[in-house]
Structure 1
Amino acid sequence: MRKSRLDAMAKQEVVEALIPPYRVDFLHPIDLVEEALIAYGYNKLGWEIPNVMTIGRVHPKEKFSKKVRLLMVGLGYQEILSYVMTSEKELFDKVLRPKKPIVKVANPVSKAFAVLRDSLMPGLLSFLSNNVHASYPQLVFEVGDVVVVDESQETKTRNERRVAAALADDVVSFERIQAHLDALLRNLGVKYGLERFEHPTLIKGRSAKVLYELKSGTIEAGYIGEVRPEVLEVLGLRCPVGVFEVNLDPLIGG
């Protein structure tokens, strides 16, 4: 205890210690036990498996998400982390998306955190907008949850784990961003197809719907395309941007 600068004294089987005023981390007697164990060394203690019914392990969703992150980094992308809570302005207005039912916070502290995101793409474009001073090309991605309205669920909402990527450079084409999506899905062992699709944020004729071809059938998974010049102007972006966003949930455990 004295090595930890605690004025300690042993009285038979009881140890009394005077805690310095700057050690605000001491709240209970068990904190003194922890301090002694740290000084002694946790590695010197024996170990045993706890007598419980289950043993902890990494959740399959997190394990799969880690694999996706490693693949995206291997493709030259940098991961970003943005808040699940955002604003309607960023989620809809800035990217020219029509408003739709979303989850709203009852008593938000700020308008900037008044709703829960239903897409990762607006957050990526906002990140690029805040980093126009950085050198190009800029390749960013995010793996995270979105919250969508689903009346069939008990909570009337559903979480989805998605991956989204954005590529900003002097020259960006549909083929270039599609090559990255192709590399990602092929390395995940996923067969997919593209179908003509119009998205309010993307250029007409340069966007497509992403379809997973699974054993259970073909399902819609997301979208890919080039961002409209009008959106780039609103966000103050100075070069073309290509994006894609797909749902990972159908692939987890499959």
Structure 2
Amino acid sequence: MAVVRCKLASLLLQTLYLCRRLDAPRYRRVSPTSGEPQKLIITEETAAVRPHAVAAVLRDITFTQERYDSFIELQEKLHQNICRKRSLVAIGTHDLDTISGPFTYTAKPPGDISFKPLSQTKEYTATQLMSLYKTDSHLRHYLHIIEDKPVYPVIYDSNGVVLSMPPIINGDHSKITLKTKNVFIECTATDLTKAKIVLDMMVTMFSEYCSQPFTVEEAEVVCPDGKTCKYPELAYRKEKLSSEFINKKVGINESTEKIAQLLTRMCLLSQPTGAGDEIEVEIPPTRSDVIHACDIMEDAAMAYGFNNITRTTPRTYTVANQFPLNKLTELLRQDLAAAGFTEALNFALCSQEDIADKLGKKISETKAAHISNPKTAEFQVARTTLLPGLLKTIAANRKMPLPLKLFEISDVVLKDETKDVGARNCRRFCAVYYNKSPGFEVIHGLLDRTMQLLEVKSVRGDGYHIHAADDSTFFPGRCAEIFVRGKSVGRLGVLHPDVINRFELTMPCSALEMDIEPFL
């Protein structure tokens, strides 16, 4: 999901103020009534793990059991979605009356960090905590974020008390309770923008319960370069769009004033500017999900009521057409099955061994896209060839009557620096023949049939031809490269006995693999 919707928390407020016919709240950042703002100092050591941090204070808040439970639940919900399971942002909430600022956000070797974590009875070093939480059903999912780092992030108060070791656990000393009146909130992050959004979301949702509703006490964050920033930002911004745009996209016909009213009902304070049908919309800090005019249009449609939109017939008619590559693939599947081969469908992920060692190649030569955090050894990389999947299918069906004739037409993934994602999909066709004899003539015949179906003649130049080639996957002298219109598109031949043995097979096998896309 490209943009994380933050509407869930704000919809409750919207409903409340709609029912009570009240204006949407105005959130304000205020200075402390006495003394200096709480200060969070970031040291340069944090650059190796989580370089960013923001902070704020909810002053004189009143918790009930329901509010307290909701406060904890909101943290967990934010951790799971916009925080991306704490990998982008980790939230720490502390009873400000139990600690003393200024606070220091730094990073130390795990052996140098020692404190009593939340819900524990004694102190542990960070190294001991990582071992302790490996069996914890909740926290073990976050250990990998910092486990391999040379230093771990940690926040201290001016007396050396540990507030938290983000993104794993808070300290027990500063835990909040129903009696907590002042809450210090800190968010450490690898993404500063996400940290600001999360902090704004936390404080706006619970500032209503402060003695001065909808106000948040500011905190100063001092960066390693000496730059000082004040948080939370609680930024209101304005966007302009036309009522014609909303009417056209939603499928309604309402006046500019009416649409402005609809948006205001959704807590997006709006009013006509007087310049034609232009509407100025104010986006509050609770709506970080609104990043485009389409998001505002969606809110207008919700306020209008989807069931109230008149059903109409489209003014234009279009005929859908199958993607050419998929159409060619479907046609080939039918004729290859008619040629006596059985189609197989294998996983797009495989192990490094499958596409490299077992085929007699080096993993560095395969242009494979690696999975950064594979869950099993069977799914480490995206496949760069279809051959291992078919050979493993044969190995799992060795009791079936011979010969075994299988094929697969599917995508492989190859690294490509010219693409914005660094890799590209390539449609491949692969077939194998497994019997007491290699059956190279069978695979060669299948190639000729495939080229006949693709209307490519067996001639040099504008047609296709094969040429002897060397490949560690194939038996020496029994491998050929396939050329179409002078361009190499694949290879066929008799598999090397070592390759066959590595896939736990006992009979000779011949194979063919080629690209499909050049034939479009």
**TM-score normalised according to structure 2 size:** 0.37
Give the CA deviation at 1:98: 2.2
8 Å CA contact 2:431–2:512 kept in 1: the answer is yes
Using a 3 Å threshold, how does the CA distance of structure 1 residues 56 and 233 change in structure 2: closer, same or farther? same
Amino acid at match of 2:467: E
Which deviates further from its counterpart, 66-75 or 89-98?
A: 89-98
* 1:61 counterpart residue number: 325
**Does the CA contact (< 8 Å) of 1:132 and 1:238 recur in 2?**
no
Could you say which residue in structure 2 is the equivalent of 1:223? 491
**Runs of 4+ off more than 6 Å:** none
Structure 1 partner of 2:508: 240
| 2:343 is aligned with 1:74 | no
For 2:313 and 2:338, the matched residues in 1 are separated by 37
Letter in 2 for 1:93: D
AA in 2 matched with 1:149: K
- Separation of aligned partners in 1, 2:320 and 2:372: 35
What residue in structure 2 maps to residue 84 of structure 1? 348
Matched residue of 1:111: which SS? coil
* Structure 2 counterpart of 1:141, one-letter code: F
Question: What is the alpha-carbon distance in structure 2 between the residues aligned to residue 86 and residue 245 of structure 1?
Answer: 18
Cα distance change of structure 1 residues 242 and 153 upon mapping to structure 2, 3 Å threshold = same
DSSP 3-state at the match of 1:83: coil
2:374 is paired with a residue of what secondary structure? coil
Q: Where do residues 114-193 of structure 1 align in structure 2 (5 Å cutoff)?
A: 114-190=380-456, 191-193=463-465
TM-score, normalising length from structure 1? 0.75
1:95 is displaced (CA, Å) by 2.3
Count of residue pairs the alignment pairs up: 201
Q: Deviations over 1:131-179 (max 9, x none)?
A: 1111100000000000111122222212111100000011223333111
Aligned CA RMSD, in angstroms, stands at: 1.7
Question: How many angstroms apart in 1 are the aligned matches of 2:511 and 2:394?
Answer: 12
Partner residue in 2 for 1:205: 477
- In structure 2, the CA distance between the partners of 1:159 and 1:52, relative to structure 1 (3 Å rule), is farther
Q: Separation in 2 of the partners of 1:51 and 1:123?
A: 48
Partners of 1:51 and 1:243 in 2: CA distance: 53
Aligned to 1:5: none
1:37-74 Cα shifts (integer Å, max 9, x gaps): xxxxxxxxxxx974567543211111100111112101
Contact 2:433 2:439 survives alignment (8 Å):
no
Shift of 1:79: 0.3
CA distance in 2, matches of 1:76, 1:92: 30
Distance 1:108 1:55, change over 3 A: farther
Q: Larger relative contact order (C-alpha < 8 A, sep ≥ 6)?
A: 1
Cα pair 2:395 2:503 within 8 Å, conserved: yes
Change (3 A) 1:53 1:134: same
**Identity across matched positions, percent:** 27
- Residues 90, 126 of structure 1: 8 Å contact kept: no
Structure 2: runs of 5+ lacking an equivalent: 1-311, 457-462
C-alpha distance in structure 2 between counterparts of 1:151 and 1:116, whole Å: 16
SS of match in other structure, 1:209: strand
Maintained 8 Å contact 1:174/1:207: no
Q: C-alpha displacement at 1:249, in angstroms? A: 0.5
Q: 1:172 to 1:49 in 2, by over 3 A?
A: farther
Report the Cα offset of residue 83 of structure 1: 0.9
Unaligned 5+ residue runs, structure 1?
1-47
Q: Does the 8 A contact of 2:341 with 2:407 survive in 1?
A: yes
CA distance in structure 2 between the aligned counterparts of 1:164 and 1:244, rounded to whole angstroms:
5
C-alpha change, 1:53 and 1:152, in structure 2 (3 Å) is farther
Task: Specify the code of the residue in structure 2 equivalent to 1:62.
Answer: N
* Alpha-carbon contact 1:163-1:246 (below 8 Å) kept: yes
Distance 1:98 1:53 in 2: 53
